[in-house]
């Protein structure tokens, strides 16, 4: 699949997977759904839901995850917070334009261009936080987050990249 098509699909996912509101209860329900799905699929992931103000409203790590996953999640969350897009879409855009994080004014100690960070966008408000997954290949991290958001928001069909976990 060409990079332009991947970028288009990722932008569509972000547009479709919006919330009408987002509360701590929503974070608990979404996070719990994600933990159940990861357990059902035996995925060794860490899951975090964080608001842009730095508050972590949900977090869980399966056996095999560790502080390294925490560091990756923080970098992915920083990327979503600043760029207001999924960390995978940034990765695809940078790859298409042959750019580095430094070209975007971001350092690689605090930010990352890799999948697994998905914006929590509230309609009429904007990006208020991030859903973050770490532990799989970065494409699968993104796909897992998008699939769970789709399920939680009861949106049956979203465009998908050809990646399966």
CB 47 within 8 A of CB 59: yes
State the Rg of the chain over Cα.
14
pLDDT score at 161: 86
Spatial distance between the Cα atoms of 15 and 122, rounded to a whole number of angstroms: 10
pLDDT of the chain, 165 residues: tens digit per residue: 589 999 999 999 999 999 999 999 999 999 999 999 999 999 999 999 999 999 999 999 999 999 999 999 999 999 999 999 999 999 999 999 999 999 999 999 999 999 999 999 999 999 999 999 999 999 999 999 999 999 999 999 899 987 543
Spatial distance between the Cα atoms of 146 and 119, rounded to a whole number of angstroms: 10
Spatial distance between the Cα atoms of 8 and 96, rounded to a whole number of angstroms: 12
Beta carbons within 8 Å of 90's beta carbon, 6+ residues apart: 79, 83, 104, 113
Look up tokens 């993104």; give the residue: 142
Task: Return the DSSP state at 163.
Answer: -
Beta carbons within 8 Å of 141's beta carbon, 6+ residues apart: 45, 114, 115, 116, 133, 134, 135
pLDDT score at 2: 87
Spatial distance between the Cα atoms of 10 and 23, rounded to a whole number of angstroms: 24
What architecture is domain 3-152?
Answer: 2-Layer Sandwich (3.30)
Look up tokens 């972000």; give the residue: 14
């Amino acid at each position: 699949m060409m990079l332009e098509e991947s970028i288009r699909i990722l932008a569509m996912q972000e547009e479709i997977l919006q919330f009408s509101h987002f509360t701590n209860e929503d974070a608990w329900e979404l996070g719990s759904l994600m933990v159940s799905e990861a357990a059902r699929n035996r995925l060794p992931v860490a899951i975090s839901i964080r608001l842009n103000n730095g508050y972590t409203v949900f977090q869980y790590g399966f056996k095999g995850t560790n502080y390294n996953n925490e560091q990756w999640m923080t970098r992915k969350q920083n990327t979503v917070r600043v760029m207001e897009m999924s960390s995978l879409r940034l990765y695809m855009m940078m790859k298409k334009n042959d750019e580095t994080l430094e070209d975007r004014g971001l350092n690689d100690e605090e930010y990352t261009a890799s999948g697994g960070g998905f914006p929590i966008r509230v309609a009429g408000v904007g990006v208020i936080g991030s859903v973050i997954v770490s532990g799989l290949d970065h494409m699968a991290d993104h796909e897992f987050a998008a699939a769970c958001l789709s399920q939680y928001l009861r949106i049956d069909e979203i465009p998908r990249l050809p990646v399966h976990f």
